Amino acid sequence: MQKYTIAVVGAMGAVGREMLKTLEQRNFPVKKIKPLDIPSNAGKKITFQEEPIAVEAAVSGAFKDVDIALFSAGADASKVLAPTAVTEGAVVIDNSSAWRMDENVPLVIPEVNPEDLSWHKGLIANPNCSTIQMLVALKPLHDRYNIKRIVVSTYQAVSGTGQKAIVELNQQVQDYVTGQPIKSNVYPYQIAFNALPHIDVFLENGYSKEEMKMVFETKKIMDKNISVSATTVRIPVFRSHSESINIETEKPFKIDEVVTTLNEAPGIIVVDNLTAANYPLAIDAEGKDEVFVGRIRRDFSIDNGLNLWVVADNLRKGAALNAIQIAETLVQKALI
Amino acid sequence: MQKYTIAVVGAMGAVGREMLKTLEQRNFPVKKIKPLDIPSNAGKKITFQEEPIAVEAAVSGAFKDVDIALFSAGADASKVLAPTAVTEGAVVIDNSSAWRMDENVPLVIPEVNPEDLSWHKGLIANPNCSTIQMLVALKPLHDRYNIKRIVVSTYQAVSGTGQKAIVELNQQVQDYVTGQPIKSNVYPYQIAFNALPHIDVFLENGYSKEEMKMVFETKKIMDKNISVSATTVRIPVFRSHSESINIETEKPFKIDEVVTTLNEAPGIIVVDNLTAANYPLAIDAEGKDEVFVGRIRRDFSIDNGLNLWVVADNLRKGAALNAIQIAETLVQKALI
């Protein structure tokens, strides 16, 4: 079996760490792991398959022996360094927003549009976390009923912002419990015991960049004819995003058919037994690979309306796992 | 000026305490306050206008000298005791769900349908917290543009469940910080660092009772032709509910007109300056009387679509304040 040299760019970050863990857990055929990060982190050690490995500086020249470079170091770093890595011979799978809307770059969720990997030119973009879990849940319904419109409100975990936001929420609850004043650095306001309708920067049109990512990425990945209206909100959860999704389909459906369709689709676990108070929960999804779907019910306010509650681990399926599934699909399809 | 003897039923609860505080703050013409609660709390003291007052048992006979009885003791208590209070001569303003859909009982938000107070028969229902703040925000828009459909997802504080849920969230974060196991009694699952798409009980149709309250109460209070689809979610916030509201109107609108309309409406404060990261927040709404509206933006996925982020203190405008505003309106209109 062929093995691959894998660079993880941003290896010290929340997603980078999860990428290393996911590579281990899924037994990806790794010849050599190359953890890269900002120069000031060079020399620090990460652990892979119980071996300590020194982090190296993510700079040009670092990708000459790399087969696959998994990038999760932010959009600015990706803008500069991803093309360098491609030039040096690596296939880049980039978790940032830098290349997602570039028409020369496939934007891929393996359960939704694996066929788009065939036209990659060395650079493949990993979609936004909130888009990935929504489209894994909606793809089988779109195939069967043709989704026309999506109205989504999100309940997003702080780990989506990165390791520093996990530390901030932790510190804020600690300061709350010990009666210290609560300080905010990562977010503009206290996130503990609060809900911030503000993810990424705001744009001219009144939407946040996170909201528009859900609009544009859905069109690029699944169907350009689907209209999306999104409200993205940060809540005091460490891990796993939850989403309240309302869809309108062209074709009529029966609820039991919808449940069966979701149950049979890849990457989905239906959790929906109301008499047992069973529904997807952020704390249950943590560390899991699947997208959990529940609260499946007809929206009686229109014809062909449906409501869903969709939860997934934002660092796993929303980031690290999806990137590694892209790598696995490249290997399977001999596209690398 | 005429003064009134006011009973507060459920005086030891989260909303009961807020009712007492709100009566003080708004200088309601109180002749005598009569705190009532379950018999086992009789003899305990509450403070009103700096005087300690003994709680009495909420039993039949307790309302003979009462002009207005503010009930916040749950639906079961209201079912039994509210008709008794009316028979004994009190006008009852009931915060529970017991009488809201009774066609002989007006369901009133003073900013929305004060005219319905004119036909009261001694019993007036206070709407559900999540409905109140939504309709205060939407009423001026409905008057001007005719709302056809509402899709709402809520982010609700634990205080909506009552004092015991405030204690539970407090205990859970304390146990988290001190490394103790987290226990859940009030909610079926941990609420700290989680999001529960489950408020009140689930019904046959797949919706929770809280969700259907928003559907039915909107029709009764504002307009029976409005269709509502709701997803109600409990999040780890102590106080103030947030709501992501998507509406479709019959008539077209301009966004600056919408902002002006909201700004001029009673009980609303617009907080919407994205360049300054200004939007309504749960922690800012705490203790405030107004409904805060922000993230006002066109929904580009349909004609005449609008998104709003609406926040209010669920114990104030969502419960205690609205009940006392009903009492004030009864006094003003000589309906008592």
ipTM value for the complex? 0.96
Q: Is B309 on the interface with A (CB under 8 A)?
A: yes
pLDDT at A1 over 90: no
Where residue A109 sits, what CATH number does that domain have?
Answer: 3.40.50.720
B204 CB within 8 Å of a chain A CB: no
Determine which of A156, A193, A204 to mutate to test the interface with B (most B C-beta atoms within 10 Å). Answer: A193
Sign of the CA dihedral B174, B179, B185, B189?
positive
Please compute Rg for chain B using Cα positions: 20
Same domain, A103 and A139: no
Residues A296, A273, single domain; the answer is yes
Chain A CB within 8 Å of residue B224 CB: no
Q: For chain A, what is the largest distance between any 2 Cα atoms, rounded to a whole number of angstroms?
A: 60
Is residue B137 within 8 A of residue B293, CB to CB? The reply is yes
Same domain as B224, residue B197: yes
List, in sequence order, the alpha helices (H) in chain A: 14-25, 75-87, 129-145, 163-177, 209-221, 255-264, 282-285, 321-332
| Whether residues B207 and B278 fall in one domain | yes
Pairing of strands B241-249, B147-155: antiparallel
Contact call for residues B272 and B295 (beta carbons, < 8 A): yes
Q: How much is the mean pLDDT over chain A?
A: 97
What residues of chain A lie within 8 A of the CB of B238, using their CB?
193
Give yes or no: residues B280 and B163 share one domain.
yes
Q: Using the 8-state DSSP alphabet, how is residue A47 labeled?
A: E
Average pLDDT (A50-70) is 97
pLDDT in tens, chain B (336 residues): 899 999 999 999 999 999 999 999 999 999 999 999 999 999 999 999 999 999 999 999 999 999 999 999 999 999 999 999 999 999 999 999 999 999 999 999 999 999 999 999 999 999 999 999 999 999 999 999 999 999 999 999 999 999 999 999 999 999 999 999 999 999 999 999 999 999 999 999 999 999 999 999 999 999 999 999 999 999 999 999 999 999 999 999 999 999 999 999 999 999 999 999 999 999 999 999 999 999 999 999 999 999 999 999 999 999 999 999 999 999 999 999
Q: Based on the domain organization, do B37 and B157 belong to the same domain?
A: no
Contact A297 B244 (CB under 8 A): no
Total number of domains in chain B = 2
- CATH number, domain with residue B195: 3.30.360.10
Helix axis angle, A129-145 to A255-264, nearest 10°: 120
Is B293 found in the same domain as B157? yes
Report yes or no: B209 at the A interface, CB cutoff 8 Å: no
For A178, the closest chain B residue by CA position comes to B174
| Cα separation, B182 vs B34, whole angstroms | 38
Instruction: Please tell me the distance from the alpha carbon of residue B101 to that of residue B114, in angstroms, as a whole number.
Output: 17
Rounded CA-CA distance B221/B206 in Å is 24
**Sign of the Cα pseudo-torsion (B158, B160, B163, B164, in order):** negative
Write the pLDDT tens digit of every residue in A67-94: 999 999 999 999 999 999 999 999 999 9
List the structure tokens of B35: 């705190």
CB B11 within 8 A of CB B55: yes
Taking only residues 228 to 287 of chain B, the set having a beta carbon closer than 8 angstroms to any beta carbon of chain A reads: 228-229, 231, 233, 235-238, 242, 244, 246, 255, 274-275, 277, 279-283
Q: Does B9 share its domain with B107?
A: yes
**Regarding beta strands A4-9 and A68-71, do their DSSP bridges make them parallel or antiparallel, or are they unpaired?**
parallel
* Together in a domain, B14 and B157: no
| CA quadruple A107, A281, A156, B168: dihedral, nearest 10 | -170
Q: What are phi and psi of B170, to 5 degrees?
A: -55, -50
A310 touches chain B (CB under 8 A): no
* Helix/strand/coil for A222: coil
Kindly determine whether residue B281 and residue A177, on different chains, have CB atoms separated by under 8 Å: no
Shortest CA distance to A217 belongs to which of A136, A305, A300?
A136
Cα(A308)–Cα(B231) distance, integer angstroms: 9
Q: Residue A110 carries which side chain, given as an amino acid letter?
A: P
The first and second tokens of residue B235, run together, are: 């999040």
In this structure, the answer to whether residues A224 and A189 fall within a common structural domain is yes
Determine the structural domain holding residue A40 and report its residue range. Answer: 4-127+319-332
Contact B237 A193 (CB under 8 A): yes
Cα-based torsion angle of the residue sequence B25, B160, A244, A319 in order, rounded to the nearest 10 degrees? 90
What phi, psi does A263 have (nearest 5°)? -60, -35
pLDDT per residue over A273-285, tens digit each?
A: 999 999 999 999 9
B159 and B301 belong to one structural domain: yes
> In terms of domains, do A77 and A182 share one?
no
Which pLDDT band holds residue A194 (cuts at 50, 70, 90)?
Answer: very high
Among B278, B306, B307, the strongest candidate for a mutation testing the A interface, having the largest count of A CBs within 10 A, is B307
Spatial separation of the C-alpha atoms in residues A9 and A38, rounded to whole Å: 9
With H, G, I as helix, E, B as strand and everything else as coil, classify residue B5. Answer: strand
Helices B14-25, B321-332: inter-axial angle, 10-degree rounding: 40
